[in-house]
Amino acid sequence: MATILDRIRTTIELMVQRLSSKNIGQELRIASRQCRLLATKANGTLHIVDEFSNVLRDAENQRIEILPWEPAAVELHGLLKDAERLIDMCCCGDEWLKVAIDRGNLKLTFGKLLYDIEWHESVLCSSLVLEKNAFVQRFCDGNLTFADNFKLLAASKKDFQSLLDLLRRSHVCDEVCEPGTDGGCLARKLLKKMEEEEIRVVVRRETLPLQSPLLLWVNSQQLPKGKALGRGSFAKVRKTTWLGLEYAKKVFNSGSVHQVIFKQEVTVMAGLDHPNVLRIVCCFADSELGIVMELMHKSLFDVLNDFRNKKYAPGAVTPFSITQAVDLMLQLAEGVRYLHSKHLAHRDIKSGNVLLQFADPKHGTTEPWSNGNTCPFIAKVADFGLTKIKNTSTHRGHQTLMTGTRPWMAPEAYKYEWTDEPTPSSRYHPMKLDVYGFGIMCCEILSGEEPYQKLPSYAAVKAGERPKLPDYIPERLAALIQLCWHGNPRMRPVFTTICTELRFIKGLLLRGDQEALRNIAIDVGGASMNIGDEVKVRGPWGGGGGSPFFDGVVTSIKSISVWYMKNPMACISCVEIEYEVNERSFFVTHGKGIRGSKYAQVKIDEPNEYVIEIEGSYGVTAAVTVGNAEVVSILSLAIRTNLTKYGPFGGSGGTQFSSGEGKVVGVFGRSDMIIDQIGFFTVAPEAM
C-alpha cells in the first residue's frame, strides 16, 4: 500500500514546492495562474490520500472487504506526473516566447487535468464503499464543477492578458526572430494572432483568407527538410526543425486544386486547441504551401500494424490491455466531441487519421505497452482536410466525397462509393458518420486486427455485417460499440454520451466491478432519444456463446420473423425484427439460420397492437456443437401482444423465461449460427 501512495505524496510535495520557490516569479512566465490552480488542486489530493490511507488501514485491520484500489492510484499518480511536467514546461524563463508559440492556448489542457485528477480521486475513494451507488455514471460527464470552471476561466483570462502584456513590450525576441520569420517579428505576429482571437469568432464553414492573422505565417525557406514521414496524393510530410524544436512539415502539391485543399485544412485547424486534436503551429504560403504541426510518434494504424508484425509485445494476445484500450477510445472520443462542439464533422474517422505520442517522453519506442492499466499514449485526431476531397491513395479503399474511407464507412454513405455523385445531405448526418467510423475503430483497438479481412459489399453492410468484437470485452462495452455502428443513424449516440459511457466503463474497470460491467447500458441509447428511467432491462437468458448484440431502445416493433427447429433439434436459429424510430422503419437480423429451419412471421398492427410480453425457454440444444461441449441456446419463443398470442415457435422443454408485462421496446443478447442468449427492454404498463 505504502509504495504508490507515498509516490503520490512525493510528486505533489515536489510540485507545490516548485511553485513556492522564491525565484518562481522569474521562471514561471506562461500560464502562471493556471499552474497555481493546478498545484492547489494537487495539494487537495494530498489531504484526500492521507484520509484514504487511514480508512484503508482500518479496513485492512478489521478485514473488511474492499474493491481493488491500486489501479486507480497508479493512474492518479500518472496524472500528477503529467501535471508536474506541464508546470515544468511553463517554468520556461527567457524561453517563454518559444513555449507560447509551441503550445498555444493551454486552457483545455489544464481543464482536462483538473477534471481527471478529481475523477480519479472519486474512483479511488469509491473502492472503499461496496454499495452499488458508490460510483455512478453521472460522475463521468467530463465537466468541471461550477467552482472549478469559474476558477479556471478567471485564471486563463488573466494568463491571456499577461501574455499580451509581455508581447506588447519593446522587441522581445531577438534570438528567434531572424531564423523563423519572413521579415517580421514573431512576437508581433503572435500578438496580432491573439488579438484577433480575442475579438473575432471564427465561422468554421467559411474559408479564411490566405495570410489570415488568426494563423501564424512564416517563411518556408527557414524550415529545413528532414526525414520523410509520409505522403499522399496531394501532400508530403517531413520532419523539420523550427525555433530549436522538432515538428512535422506538411507541404501541399502545386496546382489550383491543392491550393483549395490547403485553404480548407488551415481553415478547419485555425484556432483549434484541445489535448486530443492535432495542433497546427504555423503556416507558410510563399514558394510552397504548407503547415507545421506537432510531431507525433506514429499513427494508430501503424502502431497496430507493428503489433500484427510482432514488433511490439510479441507475446501479447492484444495490443492493449482492456483498460488501456478504453482509455485510448476515450481520448479519441473527447477529441471528436470537441470538433463536434465547434460544428465540425471529421467525416473520415479511421485508425490512419489518429496520431499517437508517448505520454511520458522518457518512454522508449521499443518498449511493450500491453501490460498494466495506464495507456502509454496521448492520442490526437488528425487530417481534417482529407475529409473534403476524394483521395484514391487511401489505404485499403477509396475515399468518397465527404463520407470517408470504405472499411470505416457507414451504410447510408456506402452506395455513393466509386462515383462522383455527391451524397444527398438528406440521406445522412455527417456527425453520425463519425460515430459509425469510431465504432469500427474501437474494434481495431480491441482486437489489433484490420476491420475486415475482405471488404464487404454495400448489401452486406446494410444487412448488418460488422467486424467481430473480441469475446473477452465486457458486455457493457460491446453494447456501446454496437450502438455506435448501428445501421440506423438515429440509434447512434452523440459523442457527449459516448464519452460519459466510456469514462464510466473505465472507472468500473479500475474498480474491478465485474457485475456492473455485465450490465447493458440502456441509457446510452436513451440519452440521445429522450427515453427516461421507465425503461427496464429484462434478462438476458441463455448461454454464453456467439457475439453480443444490442439493438437499443426504439419507438415500437412492427414485425418479428422467427426461424426455428423443433425437437429433438430444438432451437431458435434466426430472428429478424422490424423496428420503428421516429416514424422510420429498419430491420435487424440476429443468427445465421440452420438449413431445415421452419419460418414464421408476426406482423404487429401498430398503433392498435403492440408487443406486451415475449416468453420462451432456453437449454442445451442438439442443433449445434462446439467440440464435445454442450451448447446452451434459446429453444423457443412466443410473442404476446395486447390483442393475441403468437407461437410458441421452436421446441419444448428447457428453462422458462418471460420479459414480464410491459411494452417491449428493444432486444439484446448473443448470437452466431443460432440465438444463444436473449434479453429485452420494456416499458412498464403505467408508462405506456
Q: How far apart are CA 366 and CA 368, in angstroms?
A: 7
Residue 362 in marked binding region: no
pLDDT of residue 57: 86
Query: For the chain, percent helix, then strand, then coil, each to nearest 5?
Result: 40, 20, 35
The dihedral of CA 310, 314, 316, 317: what is its sign? positive
561 vs 524, residue with greater confidence:
561
pLDDT of residue 26: 59
**Which residue is associated with the grid cell 485510448?**
328
Residue 587 has pLDDT above 50, yes or no: yes
Residue 421 has pLDDT above 50, yes or no: no
pLDDT of residue 685: 57
Residue 498 has pLDDT above 60, yes or no: yes
DSSP 404: E
pLDDT one-digit tens code per residue, 282-293: 888 888 888 899
484 vs 207, residue with greater confidence:
484
pLDDT of residue 527: 36
Q: How confident is the model at residue 595 (pLDDT cuts 50, 70, 90)?
A: confident
pLDDT of residue 239: 94
Superfamily of domain 200-294: Phosphorylase Kinase; domain 1 (3.30.200.20)
Cis preceding linkage at 275, omega within 30: no
Sheet containing strand 663-671, strands side by side? 535-542, 675-683, 663-671, 547-550
Average pLDDT over residues 218-223: 86
pLDDT of residue 405: 67
pTM for the complete prediction? 0.76
Taking alpha carbons only, the member of 327, 312, 323 closest to residue 373 is 323
- Residue 320 contacts residue 445 (beta carbons within 8 Å): yes
Q: How confident is the model at residue 520 (pLDDT cuts 50, 70, 90)?
A: low
pLDDT one-digit tens code per residue, 12-44: 998 888 887 655 655 888 999 999 999 999 999
% of the chain with per-residue pLDDT over 90: 36
Taking alpha carbons only, the member of 515, 532, 529, 541 closest to residue 660 is 541
Q: How confident is the model at residue 487 (pLDDT cuts 50, 70, 90)?
A: confident
Long-range contacts of residues 285-288, Cβ cutoff 8 Å, at least 24 apart: 285/210, 285/211, 285/217, 286/182, 286/219, 286/220, 286/221, 287/220, 287/221, 288/220, 288/251, 288/252
Element (H, E) at 74: helix 70-90
Q: How confident is the model at residue 425 (pLDDT cuts 50, 70, 90)?
A: very low
Residue 541 has pLDDT above 70, yes or no: yes
Q: How far apart are CA 52 and CA 62, in angstroms?
A: 15
pLDDT of residue 390: 33
579 vs 574, residue with greater confidence:
574
**What fold is seen in the domain 535-683?**
Vitelline Membrane Outer Layer Protein I, subunit A (2.100.10)
The dihedral of CA 26, 28, 31, 33: what is its sign? negative
**What is the amino acid identity at position 165?**
D
CATH 1.10.510.10 location in the chain: 300-361+371-390+403-415+428-525
pLDDT one-digit tens code per residue, 441-468: 999 999 998 887 777 777 777 777 888 8
Q: 679, exposed or middle or buried, with CB in 10 Å at 0-12, 13-18, 19+?
A: buried
Range with lowest mean pLDDT among 310-314, 338-342, 448-452, 593-597: 310-314
pLDDT one-digit tens code per residue, 184-195: 677 888 888 887
Q: How many CA atoms lie within 13 A of 448 on its CB side?
A: 20
Q: How confident is the model at residue 418 (pLDDT cuts 50, 70, 90)?
A: very low
Q: CA angle 458-460-461, nearest 5°? A: 65
594 vs 202, residue with greater confidence:
594
Element (H, E) at 44: helix 32-61
53 vs 180, residue with greater confidence:
53
178 vs 643, residue with greater confidence:
643
pLDDT one-digit tens code per residue, 40-88: 999 999 999 999 999 888 888 888 778 889 999 999 999 999 999 999 9
Q: How far apart are CA 571 and CA 649, in angstroms?
A: 9
Q: How far apart are CA 232 and CA 220, in angstroms?
A: 20
**What is the amino acid identity at position 484?**
C
pLDDT of residue 366: 40
Q: How far apart are CA 125 and CA 53, in angstroms?
A: 10
CATH architecture for the domain at 300-361+371-390+403-415+428-525: Orthogonal Bundle (1.10)
Q: What is the 3-state secondary structure (H, E, C) of 168-225?
A: CCCCCCHHHHHHHCCCCCHHHHHHHHHHHHHHCCCCCCCCCCCCCCCCCECCHHHCCC
Residue 391 has pLDDT above 60, yes or no: no
pLDDT of residue 387: 42
pLDDT of residue 176: 55
CATH 3.30.200.20 location in the chain: 200-294
Range with lowest mean pLDDT among 113-122, 238-247, 314-323, 394-403: 394-403
pLDDT of residue 330: 97
Q: How far apart are CA 465 and CA 594, in angstroms?
A: 18
Cis preceding linkage at 361, omega within 30: no
